[in-house]
């Protein structure tokens, strides 16, 4: 009877080899390198969605102010509206409009002026109804539209000022 002995490596199963550890670290580094740009794009997309929501809210408030001025007879006399029945500034939307119906009854259109998520400030570009869409400087007549003062382009390639 011939017995062939072989060398066997004993493994007690406690721990990882150096090769296994290096493979695991390499895979983790690769996954982190892929995840970082995706996380950046997702963060930027969330800010852009928030900006669109704030612009929509302010534009609805401006339109509501205009509708109230046209529909409620006593509102125009008590308003600080311009000749075109648009608010003279965004602060009017927060302070409210005296409807002239009862003492101290005001119609408020915004709780506060929203913060631009891209600039971090509650400052917005404004246009009157006499200005073109391309005008960046407000002529201080009335507020017909608002836009972001953020520089740069969105993920879709459009400038933030054109939203």
Residue 20 lies in a domain: no
Residue 26 lies in a domain: no
How far is the CA of 89 from the CAs of 2, 124, 163, in angstroms?
102, 11, 20
Structure confidence at residue 76 (pLDDT): 63
* pTM for the predicted model, two decimal places: 0.73
Structural domain count, the chain: 1
Residue 85 lies in a domain: yes
R_g (Cα) of the chain, nearest Å = 31
CA distance 141 to 82: 7
Residue 91 lies in a domain: yes
Give the residue-averaged pLDDT of 1-6: 55
**pLDDT tens, position by position, 139-163:** 888 899 999 999 989 988 899 888 8
- Provide the domain limits for residue 70: 47-162
**pLDDT tens, position by position, 7-63:** 555 556 677 788 988 999 999 999 888 888 888 899 999 999 999 999 999 999 999
Residue 115 lies in a domain: yes
Tokens 């080899």 locate to: 17
Q: What is the DSSP code (8-state) at residue 106?
A: E
Which structure tokens are listed for 48? 């852009």
Residue 128 lies in a domain: yes
Q: Assign 77 a pLDDT band (cuts: 50, 70, 90).
A: low
Residue 17 lies in a domain: no
Residue 21 lies in a domain: no
């Amino acid at each position: 009877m011939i017995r062939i002995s072989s060398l066997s490596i004993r493994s007690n199963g406690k721990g990882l080899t150096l090769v296994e550890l290096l493979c695991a670290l390499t895979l983790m580094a690769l996954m982190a390198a892929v995840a970082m740009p995706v996380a950046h794009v997702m963060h930027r997309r969330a800010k852009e969605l928030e900006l669109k929501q704030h612009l929509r809210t302010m534009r609805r408030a401006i339109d509501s102010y205009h509708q109230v001025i046209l529909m409620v007879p006593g509102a125009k006399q008590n308003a600080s509206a311009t000749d075109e029945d648009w608010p003279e500034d965004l602060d009017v939307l927060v302070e409210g409009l005296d409807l002239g119906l009862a003492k101290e009854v005001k119609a408020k259109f915004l709780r506060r002026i929203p913060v631009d998520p891209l600039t971090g400030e509650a400052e917005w570009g404004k246009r009157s109804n006499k200005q073109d869409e391309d005008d960046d400087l407000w002529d201080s007549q009335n507020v017909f539209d608002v836009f972001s003062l953020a520089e740069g382009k969105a993920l879709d390639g459009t400038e933030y000022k054109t939203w």
